[in-house]
Structure 1
Amino acid sequence: MGKDLFWAITGGGASSFGVVLAYKIKLVRVPAKVTVFNVHRTLEQNATEIVYRYQHVAHKLPKVIFIRLTMMVMNITGGNKKTINASFMSLFLGDSETLVSLMNKRFPELGLKKKDCNEMSFVQSYIKWTNYALGTNTT
């Protein structure tokens, strides 16, 4: 194996893998404040259509927006009634007004509102992304 071979990434099975021969890192300036949101939608709140639309929109958003979708089954009545919860979490390198305006133009189905957004430092946003409570000590 050559000196340019860094590592293999395991894939779908014992005999399936990929090989990374090179990678590039581009550093970007991070503003003093970034904006994050975490919006939840259930089947009853039209999650199916919103997720469908997300698949067509997410990859076309500007590079200053990172958005992820997670889905899970949740119990909504305390009994046996279950639904699907779609959670859209985003990090935007800018202020909340700009984010809401942009999202409502590009992805209006989500129905993002300013009250859904939190402006914070990039370090605080990392804490939120890792599911720690806001206000967790960062030192």
Structure 2
Amino acid sequence: FNTGSGALFRDDAQIQELVGRLAANVFAAESIVITAARELDAAHDAALGLDEQQAYLRAELAVQQAHVATPKLVLDATSELFDVTGASAVSTSKSLDRYWRNARTVATHNPVVFKARSVGDYFINGTIPTG
């Protein structure tokens, strides 16, 4: 690029920073999903002795919180992918846009605003979230 540093992409500090942000977003999203999965497993663990309502709350709250936090991380990562790869990344042969489109579709399917309201209502008022 005529506005670039002239360094190879792998040596360019700005590209390294973008890749670092991308990797951190992916790590955070994966960590959130793994934590929610552990909570789902725990909700069904007979050894914990949870009653049906406690198990439901543990699982539902974990899933809803993950649903609130994860879409932005994934959408940011899939958008920033294009900042790192340049103009050739929009080539239809690469189909990289499908990652952003899939993330956007999932995030839109269950709007985050409703899950965030439900989580907030629980933490403020103790209202049990509905699935």
Indicate the TM-score class for this superposition, using the shorter chain for normalisation: under 0.3
For normalisation by structure 2, the TM-score amounts to 0.23
Bigger helix fraction: 2
For normalisation by structure 1, the TM-score amounts to 0.22
